[in-house]
Amino acid sequence: MPEWPPTDYTNQGASLNPPTNQQRAQNPQVQWKRQYVAEPNPWIPVAPNIGTQMRRFVVNLVNAPVGVEAFATIQIDIPGTVYGLTGAAVDTGGPPPAALPVGYDPLDLFMVRFEHSSGDRLDTAATMASALLGKGDKPAYIGGPGWTFDRGSTMRIGVTPLRATLRIGIVAWMIETRGPTNLGALG
């Protein structure tokens, strides 16, 4: 497995015209390997004074306007990696809560997208939540290294209800990197 963070920064300047994969394949210094990406495999620092903790960030939207994207935010106070996403929706037009139409998945009643506070779109566009979120018993995993967030950053979640009187809940599963030291000082 490659070393992280990388320590050899030679010839790694930013480029507005990065090479294509064909050009990379022709470079003898570039090695290729297969990597399983269906399940999360985040980078986690290991040191005697660093620990990890699982945290679930919960956001709820209630009765947001139909067809209008509303934003929920998650403030990241401890560095970590988001590795799973779940969601749910219920109709609040009760009492008791109204039944959803037969055959509808509650995650098909709203659209969702995620972005980083840096402006990086983690999803290129909003789509049906069932395509991006799992349910509580089976989360949708963010494969490979997951989505990494530093302290002070924010995850923005765009939610567009497709039906009135919905209560929508979204949960981001994160493994936090906790410790008494500044991670930047360890290198």
Helix (H, G, I), strand (E, B) or coil at 113: strand
Whether the Cβ atoms of residue 43 and residue 142 lie closer than 8 Å to each other: no
Residue 71 confidence (pLDDT) above 50:
yes
pLDDT at 2: 54
2, amino acid identity: P
Task: Give the integer Cα–Cα distance in Å for 139 and 83.
Answer: 9
Q: What is the pTM of this model?
A: 0.80
Predicted confidence band of residue 44 (pLDDT cuts 50, 70, 90): confident
The CATH number corresponding to 21-178 among 3.30.420, 2.60.40, 3.30.70, 2.60.120 equals: 2.60.120
Peptide bond into 19 cis (omega under 30): no
CB 140 within 8 Å of CB 65: no
Helices assigned H by DSSP within the chain: 21-25, 129-132
Task: Return d(Cα 134, Cα 112) in angstroms, integer.
Answer: 12
What average pLDDT does the structure give for the chain? 86
